[in-house]
Amino acid sequence: MEASKNEGDVAREIAGMLLKIGAIKINTENPFTWSSGWLSPIYCDNRLALSYPSIRNYIKKQLAEAVNFYFPIVEAIAGVATAGIPQGALVADLLGLPFLYIRSKAKGHGLENLVEGKVVREQRVVILEDLVSTGGSSLNAAEALKSNGMQVLGMVAIFSYGFEISNKNFRHAGVELHTLSNYQILIEEAINQNYVSGEKLALLQSWREAPDKWKP
């Protein structure tokens, strides 16, 4: 399986880059509070990678390759607001494809839409996302494109925590998701590179299994 071996290399490479620029913050004693209210020992800010041109380029090329590999009949790229927009636009640019983006909610006046850009019915679109946690907002974006008559081929994201709830939500919505890197590889890299001590591994894994109930 050459393809998956290569994917493993890319996943480790990206995890390593995100750790190196401080985009991954791990704090098991004083956890972060997510927008969902969940406590989490980890916070992942991929947006920092936008400020490092060589890392941004590497991610752009890997995203574009994944789009071409998994969805070769793609006709347009759509980015999920806000963090999926910049890399989405760069991928559309690299592939020479139309770009659209999906707001999290309409601005509530005039001609504002959830989907910005030119909606072409039946057009085959791949969604670009920054980070998938429960999949809620990512799948809302897919739903917005579908309800505008577009054909959603699937989604490519930089990173996913790999929560069971997310897998279930994507299966239920019938949306194929591919990610460049993921939580399991990230914590392995974090331990390999001494960003966190090996004894934290069990704790970090237990969080991923029940993030809604976890306490430090």
Q: What's the closest the beta carbon of residue 139 comes to a second copy, in angstroms?
A: 19
Pick 16 or 117: Cβ nearer a second copy: 117
DSSP 114: S
Strands 115-116, 99-102: pairing is antiparallel
Distance CA 92, CA 94 (A): 6
Residue 211 CB, nearest approach to a second copy (Å): 14
Nearer to a second copy, 35 or 194 (CB): 35
**CA distance linking residue 186 with residue 199, whole number of Å:** 15
- CB of residue 34 vs a second copy: minimum separation in angstroms? 6
Minimum Å distance from CB 94 to a second copy? Answer: 9
* 37 vs 72, beta carbon nearer a second copy: 37
Is residue 56 within 8 Å of 105, Cβ to Cβ? no
Interacting residue ranges for a second copy, rule: CB under 8 A? 21, 25, 32-35, 43, 45, 47-48, 50-53, 56-57, 60, 76, 79, 81-83, 85-90, 92-93, 96-101, 103, 107-112, 116-118, 120
Q: Residues 78, 113: contact at Cβ < 8 Å?
A: no
- How many alpha carbons lie under 13 Å from residue 196 in its C-beta half-sphere? 23
Closest distance between a second copy and the C-beta of residue 8, in Å?
27
Query: Whose Cβ is closer to a second copy: residue 117's or residue 162's?
Result: 117
Task: Residue count of the chain, please give it.
Answer: 216
Distance of CA 56 to the CA centre of its chain: 14
Phi, psi of 197 (to 5 degrees): -75, 150
Closer by beta carbon to a second copy, 170 or else 207: 207
